[in-house]
Every structure is written in structure tokens, then in C-alpha cells.
């Protein structure tokens, strides 16, 4: 299933997902995905598995396109 969501102004996104394997694709006319930052709750472009239905709450680092 493909679904579109928008981050808040700080680049955070919260989703409810059923158990399964996921990858978040990101697109913006003014920003590009940046996986330079790592840490807890920071999405770095990796595939992730949910073992049960859950809310995910990621920070998504973006870099402004020049």
C-alpha cells in the first residue's frame, strides 16, 4: 500500500502501521533527504521491521536544495 504523509515543520512524522517491513521514500521540491544525522528516533533511510502494529515517530533529516 502506498500512502502519502507530510512532516511537520521540524521534519517529524508520526504514523500508525501494521506489523511488516517498511521503507520511507521522501520527496520535496525544496529539500533532499539527508542521512547524515543518526540517533534515536531519527530515520536514516533504512528498511525497518515492525513485529507488531505500532505508531512510529521519526525525525527525518532534510537538507535544503541550493
Q: Please tell me the pTM assigned to this model.
A: 0.66
**Cα separation of 62 and 35, whole Å?**
8
Q: Which helix (H) or strand (E) holds 54?
A: strand 54-59
60 burial (CB, 10 Å; 0-12 / 13-18 / 19+) is buried
pLDDT in tens, 5-23: 777 777 677 889 999 999 8
Angle at 20 between CA 13 and CA 47, to 5 degrees: 60
The pLDDT, as a whole number, for residue 9 is: 77
The pLDDT, as a whole number, for residue 51 is: 96
pLDDT in tens, 24-64: 887 778 887 776 665 667 777 788 899 999 998 877 777 88
The pLDDT, as a whole number, for residue 40 is: 67
> Which letter does DSSP use for residue 42 in this model?
B
Closest to 14 measured CA to CA, from 39, 41, 33: 41
Amino acid at each position: 500500500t502506498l500512502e502519502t504523509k507530510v512532516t511537520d515543520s521540524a521534519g517529524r512524522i508520526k504514523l500508525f502501521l501494521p506489523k511488516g517491513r517498511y521503507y520511507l521514500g521522501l520527496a520535496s521540491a525544496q529539500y533532499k533527504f539527508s542521512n547524515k544525522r543518526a540517533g534515536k528516533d531519527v530515520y536514516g533511510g533504512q528498511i525497518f521491521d515492525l513485529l507488531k502494529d505500532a505508531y512510529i515517530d521519526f525525525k527525518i533529516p532534510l537538507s535544503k536544495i541550493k
